[in-house]
Structure 1
Amino acid sequence: MSPLISAGELIAELGAPGLVLVDCRHDLADPTAGRRAYAGGHLPGAVPLHLDEDLSGAKTGRNGRHPLPDPLALARSLSNAGIGDGSRVVAYDGQGGMYAARLWWLLRWLGFDAVQVLDGGVAAFVAAGGTLDTAVTQPVPAVFTPKPRPGWTVDAATVLDNLDRQDFTVIDARAPGRYAGEGETLDPVAGHIPGALNRFFQLNLQPDGRFKPAEQLRAEWQALLAGLDPHDTVQQCGSGVTACHNLLALEAAGLKGSRLYPGSWSEWCSDPARPVAVGTN
């Protein structure tokens, strides 16, 4: 199954048995924005899941801004949203997939592969002739069995140890300015993990908010990797959210095997003992 589904394909499948649409719209600066967007109009039958409340775990001040949720707690949220072992999920947002990709990755991390992201999100759906609904969906709870996949993540200690070992290459999904240590607005320390490469997640998209064709993504990513096997890379960002967008783009390009550093920069910079690099190298 492709990790992406077009608006036209989804419209043709609306109402299919087992299909669950999940509204992942969010705004880091306004945590209530997603709920307002859902109330104002969502895909027919869609259920909302909140980045902070459903798709992230508890923060300690040292584990990043969006730590991974406990698998059992996430499974409960998914079950309450009507997602069961036999479901098929399409996640969407209004931000080019930056939040929907988080749910896509989380589901796959829990061993669930029947999940796609709506390419282009709400705007593409409406442009393709889809009609939004304002009725609040009342999902029927389902049974979701989490089966976390080992080896899909690395922790801060592993990243720190890798600075000397160089067993893998870290790729930072943040904007070039934040990567360089300029204009940081979300985290208390500016800069990046030493040795990390930069691939701004927005580069995966076309101007209309849809993902670039697979061939173009493959060429761009292969140019960045410069011969690296995707299995020897780890994706990170500010808090482990837009790094999932890069993982989705790699999957769409047929370049599988990269891992996620969930704590990302917000966790890394919480410990002053960890080294920080600035600039573009």
Structure 2
Amino acid sequence: MNRVLITASELAESLQGQDPPRVLDCRARLGDNTAGHRLWEAGHVPGSLHLDLDRDLAAEPGEGGRHPLPSPDAFAATLQRLGISPSVPVVVLDDMGGQLAAARAWWMLSVWAGHPDVRVLDGGLHAWQEEGGELGLGQEPLPEPSQWQPAFDGSTRLDADEVFSGRELKVDARSQERFRGEAEPIDAVAGHIPGAVCRPSAANLTEAGRFKAAEALDAELPHGEAIVAYCGSGVTACHNILAYAIAGRPLPRLYPGSWSEWIRDPSRPVARATDRD
């Protein structure tokens, strides 16, 4: 896979080049679907556009969970509105080390939609500011719309029935406390999918909020012949998929509905307490 991270200094240099990337600010706050846009308006990488977790990167919550994937047509329309095509390099960022929701945007653009050049700003907006990057304020003009019609790859994801009946190793990106069922601040049922292992997405990052080195991630990430990544609602699971890409490992498939969809059917089993059942 092509390189998936970009440093703040590399981004600054590329923005001054002949083929500058389209920068998408994916900052979000769970439980407040207006926070991301407010944060972007208050200060962002100059020229960057806001990509909203709830409006652009997800469909309405419901039977498919809290952040089900939008339809291919809806996401294609979003990409066209932002002037994105395979010839336009893309950089995505947030302020949570990629967890909310740059990794989700990377997965949807690169893995699902097949865009050939999408990178995540390592360290996000904090890294940009630490490098002395200026911040833009308020609105930014939209580029000319594109006509791109992505060929979405359905094999990169699984639905609940496939997860229920499949033999893939299930890797849960939530915290250990939520995985074990000791705490559940968001969803109605605590616990995890039986047979899963816990790899909190935060464990992919250093204390400085950058991704760990490829060698460290390769040593730490769970191994399996086939892996499915999930979390609470299919957002931080993409952070684990990104970590596998950085490590140079085959990419897990995403279960977009994740725990918030799994628990909607009382016939699906729930496990608690242990790291693996």
**With structure 1 as the length reference, what TM-score do the two structures score?**
0.93
Matches within 5 A, 1:76-155: 76-98=77-99, 99-108=101-110, 109-140=112-143, 141-155=145-159
Unaligned 5+ segments in structure 1 are none
- CA distance in structure 2 between the partners assigned to 1:257 and 1:81 by the alignment: 27
1:204 aligns with 2:204: yes
Which has the larger displacement, 249-258 or 134-143? 134-143
- CA distance in structure 2 between the partners assigned to 1:31 and 1:11 by the alignment: 29
Kindly provide the amino acid, as one letter, of the partner of residue 44 in structure 1: P
Kindly provide the amino acid, as one letter, of the partner of residue 188 in structure 1: A
Task: Please point out which of 259, 264, 278 is paired with 2:253.
Answer: 259
- CA distance in structure 2 between the partners assigned to 1:81 and 1:114 by the alignment: 16
Partner residue of 2:195?
Answer: 195
Shift of 1:18: 5.0
Which has the larger displacement, 83-92 or 116-125? 83-92
Q: Assess if the C-alpha contact under 8 Å between 1:236 and 1:261 holds in 2.
A: yes
Q: Assess if the C-alpha contact under 8 Å between 2:85 and 2:115 holds in 1.
A: no
- List structure 1 runs of 4+ shifted beyond 2 angstroms: 15-18
Shift of 1:22: 0.2
Q: Assess if the C-alpha contact under 8 Å between 2:157 and 2:254 holds in 1.
A: yes
* Deviation readout 1:95-142 (Å, 9 max, x if unpaired): 110110000000120111210000000000111121111142112222
- CA distance in structure 2 between the partners assigned to 1:238 and 1:131 by the alignment: 34
Shift of 1:150: 3.1
Partner residue of 1:158?
Answer: 162
Q: Assess if the C-alpha contact under 8 Å between 2:86 and 2:116 holds in 1.
A: no
Identical positions, percent: 46
Q: SS where residue 103 of structure 2 aligns?
A: helix
Shift of 1:262: 0.6
Partner residue of 2:25?
Answer: 23
Shift of 1:161: 1.2
Task: Please point out which of 262, 270, 275 is paired with 1:268.
Answer: 262
- CA distance in structure 2 between the partners assigned to 1:45 and 1:15 by the alignment: 12
Kindly provide the amino acid, as one letter, of the partner of residue 48 in structure 1: H
Aligned residues: 270
Unaligned 5+ segments in structure 2 are none
